[in-house]
Each structure stands twice: as structure tokens, then as C-alpha cells.
Chains A and B, each alone.
Chain A
Amino acid sequence: MSFIEVRQISKTFKLAKKKSGLKEAIKSFFKREYIYVEAVKDISFSIEKGEIVGYIGPNGAGKSTTIKILSGILNPDKGKCIIDKMVPWEDRKRFVKKIGVVFGQRSQLWWDIPTEDTFLLLKDIYDIPEEEYQKTKEDLVEKLNLKDIINIPVRQLSLGQRMRCEIAASLLHNPEILFLDEPTIGLDAVSKQLVRDFIKRLNKEKQTTIILTSHDTSDLETLAKRIILIGKGQVLYDGSLKKLKNKYETERIVSIKTKEKLEIRNKGIKSKKKNGEGYDIVIDTKVITISELLNIISKKIVIEDIEIDNESLDNIIVKIYKDYKI
């Protein structure tokens, strides 16, 4: 059995139906109508120890709900979930010692006091022995570069600084699994890089299993080899990022630097645009390969330089969402 085993999990929320307008508001005050929203339905997957999995999907797809079920906050209506031989919502106290959770949009640090004080509190809450605490703390302080900010009240920290403290706080007890719910949201490029590098290193050094949700596709590209795509509460794709990309990445942009004039009309060439120093040619790789294209062009003109652009993961994801109508 896998380290994390999720079998056919479903969760339905009951929501009060809200209509606009005062009249409707008064009406619904006396007689409530409810709608039932299936946040997740029949979700199954398994994750091995030491994997980094990107869990992606549009807003409202059920990402947070899944994370909350996996971390034991919510009970599912149906289905089984066994993580490290425990059922999260049943063995709550024992289970949560093994996991760390970072919610990018919600802080677990105490607002008015320095981060180090929050750490001390967490040390008590998780019953971390003094020696181990010192060791872990020093390690985190060094790797996340917290030395200068750990003694400043949290309210005075920048978002990037706070996020680094946030991540450190959820790792003090050396969890085996780390859930990251949008860890880079709102961060600048430097902070993002730092956080990503740290996560990668953590996974490598401690074999921490990491489940990551993010709307930032570069997070996924640098971190997750495997992604699980979810939409309307169902798993749509589970596999390597590369395969997904290959499937959807059929368009390539080939930029050619040349001083000569280029006339080309072949199958598979979708468009040709003149840019400053040459041409941008968009091709369909299913019809014509890049080498074929270059072959044709090099026979006609002298190529000074070429640049081949990958389609961005962002575009690919938009395409996938369209494909699945989510």
C-alpha cells in the first residue's frame, strides 16, 4: 500500500441559496432554500513517500477541500483515506504530528509578537525536545535566511519575509508530509525563488512528501514532476508534467534572425510575422517538425540565429481547462 492512499472520496456541502435584493433576503430569512454542492466526488489517487505532487485546478475545483480532508480538518461523506496507516480525521492528534500545513492566505504566526516566540509556543504544542528544537530551528533559520527577521514582530515583516517564517513554523516538528496551499502567492521573484529552492532541498534532504497547490505555473515547473489536475471535483489528469505538456504543446514559435527576405508556404505553418531582425513563425508540430522547417528555410536563406520558444505552461493549462470545459 502506498504512503498516501485516497479512495473514492466525496464531500458535499450544503449551502444556503442566496438571491440578490432585499425582498429575497427577507424571504430567505424565513424560508431557507439549500443547494448542494459536490466539492469533490470520487477522488482517488496514491502518493509515495518522498514525492512532490502538484495539485492543480481552477478556483473552486475542490483543491482546498481535498487538502482539508487529507490533513484531517474535514470528514468526507464517503470514501477512504489512509495516510501512513492512519485515518486523518479519526486519529487526529497522532496524525497531525506528522504533517505540516502552510496556507498561503492565512497566517499561523502571532501578529504582534516576534516569530521566535511563536516558535517557542509551537515547541510546547508539539512537545519537541529542547535539543531537537534547537537543531531544527538553527537549520531552518540558516536555510530560509531568517536570522535578521526572527526577532521582529510579525506585523512589521514584508509578505515574503512572513512566508519564510510561516514555512519554518510548520516544519519545526519535522513533519513527514508537507501541505503547501499556494505558498508563493503575492511574493516577489526573489522570495519565490528562495521558497522554491528551499522546498526542493527539503524534499531531497529529508525525503519529505510534499503536496503543493498553486496557480503559479512556474512553481509547478520547478518543483513538481507529477501533477494531479482536478476540475469540478474530479481528477482529470494524474501523471507527469512532461506528458501533459507534450499532449497539449503542439504549437511552437520559431524565431529566425536573418537579413534576407523569406517566402515560405508549407503545410503546418500557421503564421509568419516579420519582427525587427527577422521572422516569427508559428508551426503545428503535428504536421511539421522543427527540423523539417529549418531544413526548408536553410535551403532558401542564410539563418544567422534561431530561437525556439516553448509554449508557456500557463497557456497549456488554459487549453486543458477549455478542453475539459471547466
Chain B
Amino acid sequence: MKYYINALGMHLKSELEYRTSFIFSFFSQIIVFFSYYFVIISLFSKFDNIKGFTMYEVLLCFAVIQFGFAFNEVFARGLDKFDSLIVHGTFDRVLLRPRNIIIQVLYNESDFVKSSRLIQSIIILIIAVIKLKIKWSILKIICLLLMLISAVVIFFSIFLLAASYCFITVQGLEVRSVFTDGGKHMAQYPIGIFNKGFIFFFTFIIPYAFVNYYPLLYFIGKSNKVYYAFSPLLLFIYVIPCILIFYLGVKKYESAGS
């Protein structure tokens, strides 16, 4: 783990080499990101609720997903950019180092500018939680933490799957945006507001529902089922085949010519 942290430190150092650029992008990220929130806020200025979900409930849901996504963009950027790793032959170097392959891929690239999103999502999360006037219990704290962790795990899994695909096609796959960006935009809202087909897809194919719907129901008191609080744990099972598929891809790896 030490080398992973040190490598990230190096990334930060090299990003800070271009100081002005770093500051500008950091703040432009904040502006872009807040525009997403304004969409939700202006939506709720017209309606009180969407299918029974109030504004702060939706914002909470939104913040959790954004947190998971931004976390991966900062700490697992290499997976997101995996196609360029293969095309440029950097992956050869990864295989030449006596360390875990996935961890090496994670730190191969990094984007600390995106940490502004991470900070913002935490701020929104805190505001939403305060405004929701939650009746706190230990279970609810665990539930919220599990939501955040599983949000990280689900995007990690999807990034990993998309990366595995690069072993076959070399070029990155645009379809993956359907699952990451598209999925992200859908999952920002409680999945219950969509129709059956979407719910099925986001429960069983890409299980966003276990990240921010079922646990959300428990957290905001819409449901008393305790197992809803622990449903995010399912994501830890989901990530296993994703990891295996990635290693299957490594076996198929054919390197770029030089």
C-alpha cells in the first residue's frame, strides 16, 4: 500500500508543477459541478416531490453517487484511462514490476483536480443529512457509510469491466459510458422514480439500486427492513467476477508493437 500512496503523492507533485492550470481547473470543476445541483434545486422549485421523494432525499442520493464516481476518478484514474495505457505500451511496464497489477494500474494516472468534486459531494451530503432531520441510530450511521463505500465499489467494478474490454479491442469502448456516465446520471435519482425495466436493470445487471435506493429507503425511514441497510454489502460480491474478468484479460494481453 505504501508504494500506492507514494505514487499518488508523485502525481500530486507533478500536477502541482503546473500550478496555474491546477488552480483554474480546480475552480472550473466546482462551477461545472454546482450546475448539476442547480438542476435539481430548480426542479424542486416547481414540484414538492418526485414520486414521494423530497429535494434533500434526492440530493442525498445524488451526493452518494457523485462521491463514488469522483473517488474513483481521483484514486483509480488509471482504470478509467486504461485504453491509453494499452495503446502507449505503458501496461508492459506494469507487468515488469513485482507488484499487484490492478493496484499499479490504479495509480498509473491520477486527476487531483477531480478532488474538488469529492469535496463538493461531501458538502452536499452533509447539508442534505442535516436538512433531513434523521433520527440517528448506530445502524443508520453504518447504513450511510455502507452507501458511500458501495458507491466507490460499484464504480470501481464498472471501470474494471470497461478496462477488461480493452484487452480485446485495444480501443476504449464508448458503450461503457452508458454504464458509467449514463448510469451515474440515472442513479443520481432514487431508482424508484423510474419504471420497472430500469429498476430491473439497475438492480440485477448493474446494481446501483443496492448503493443508493434500498439503503436510502432505510436511511430516510421509508422502510424498516434492516436488511436494506446492509444491502450495499452485495457490491463486494459483485466486484469479485469483475476482478476475475480483468485477470482473464491480462492473460490475453498482446502488447503493442514498438
> A interface vs B, CB < 8 Å?
13, 64, 68, 71-75, 92-94, 96-97, 99, 101, 103, 105-106, 108, 110-113, 117-118, 120-121, 124-127, 153, 181
B91-99, B119-127, B132-140, B187-195: which one contacts chain A?
B91-99
Contacts known (A75-B251, A113-B13, A117-B10); A64 close to B95, Cβ less than 8 A: no
> B interface vs A, CB < 8 Å?
2-3, 6-7, 10, 13-14, 17-18, 88-90, 92-93, 95-99, 251, 253-255, 257-258
Contacts known (A74-B254, A113-B14, A121-B3); A96 close to B96, Cβ less than 8 A: yes
CA distance A92 to B100 in the complex (A): 10
CB distance from A264 to the nearest CB of B (A): 51
CA distance A74 to B89 in the complex (A): 12
Which residue of chain A lies nearest to B18 when distances are taken between CB atoms in the complex?
A112
A73 touches which of B10, B88, B92 (Cβ 8 Å): B92
Contacts known (A75-B251, A117-B10, A125-B3); A181 close to B95, Cβ less than 8 A: no
CB distance from A190 to the nearest CB of B (A): 25
Contacts known (A75-B251, A117-B10); A64 close to B96, Cβ less than 8 A: no
Interface centre among A64, A73, A103 (most CB of B within 10 A): A73
CA distance A245 to B6 in the complex (A): 51
**By the criterion CB–CB under 8 Å, are A68 and B98 in contact?**
no
Would you mind naming 23 contact pairs between A and B with Cβ atoms under 8 Å apart? A64-B257, A73-B92, A73-B95, A73-B96, A74-B254, A93-B99, A94-B98, A96-B95, A103-B89, A106-B89, A106-B92, A108-B93, A110-B14, A112-B13, A112-B18, A113-B10, A118-B10, A121-B6, A121-B7, A124-B3, A125-B99, A126-B97, A181-B258
Which residue of chain B lies nearest to A126 when distances are taken between CB atoms in the complex?
B98
CA distance A92 to B94 in the complex (A): 11
CA distance A96 to B97 in the complex (A): 6
**By the criterion CB–CB under 8 Å, are B258 and A13 in contact?**
no
CA distance A108 to B7 in the complex (A): 13
CA distance A64 to B95 in the complex (A): 15
CB distance from B247 to the nearest CB of A (A): 12
Knowing that A103-B258, A108-B93, A113-B10 are A-B contacts, what are 10 other residue pairs whose CB atoms are under 8 Å apart, sorted by A's residue number? A73-B253, A103-B89, A103-B92, A106-B90, A106-B93, A106-B258, A112-B14, A113-B14, A124-B3, A153-B17
CA distance A195 to B253 in the complex (A): 32
Chain A residue numbers with a CB within 8 Å of B10 are 110, 113, 117-118, 121
CA distance A117 to B99 in the complex (A): 19
**By the criterion CB–CB under 8 Å, are B254 and A71 in contact?**
no
Chain B residue numbers with a CB within 8 Å of A121 are 3, 6-7, 10
Which residue of chain A lies nearest to B16 when distances are taken between CB atoms in the complex?
A112
**By the criterion CB–CB under 8 Å, are B92 and A125 in contact?**
no
CB distance from A325 to the nearest CB of B (A): 22
CA distance A30 to B17 in the complex (A): 46
CB distance from B72 to the nearest CB of A (A): 22
Chain B residue numbers with a CB within 8 Å of A92 are 95, 98
CA distance A33 to B2 in the complex (A): 46
Which residue of chain A lies nearest to B254 when distances are taken between CB atoms in the complex?
A13
Which residue of chain A lies nearest to B17 when distances are taken between CB atoms in the complex?
A112
CA distance A298 to B18 in the complex (A): 73
CA distance A127 to B98 in the complex (A): 9
CA distance A101 to B255 in the complex (A): 15
CB distance from B256 to the nearest CB of A (A): 10
B98 touches which of A64, A110, A113, A125 (Cβ 8 Å): A125
CA distance A161 to B10 in the complex (A): 21
CB distance from A177 to the nearest CB of B (A): 12
A113 touches which of B17, B18, B99, B255 (Cβ 8 Å): B17
Which residue of chain A lies nearest to B94 when distances are taken between CB atoms in the complex?
A73
CA distance A99 to B95 in the complex (A): 12
Chain B residue numbers with a CB within 8 Å of A126 are 97-98
CA distance A68 to B256 in the complex (A): 10
**By the criterion CB–CB under 8 Å, are B13 and A101 in contact?**
no
Chain A residue numbers with a CB within 8 Å of B258 are 64, 103, 105-106, 181
Chain A residue numbers with a CB within 8 Å of B18 are 112
CA distance A284 to B140 in the complex (A): 93
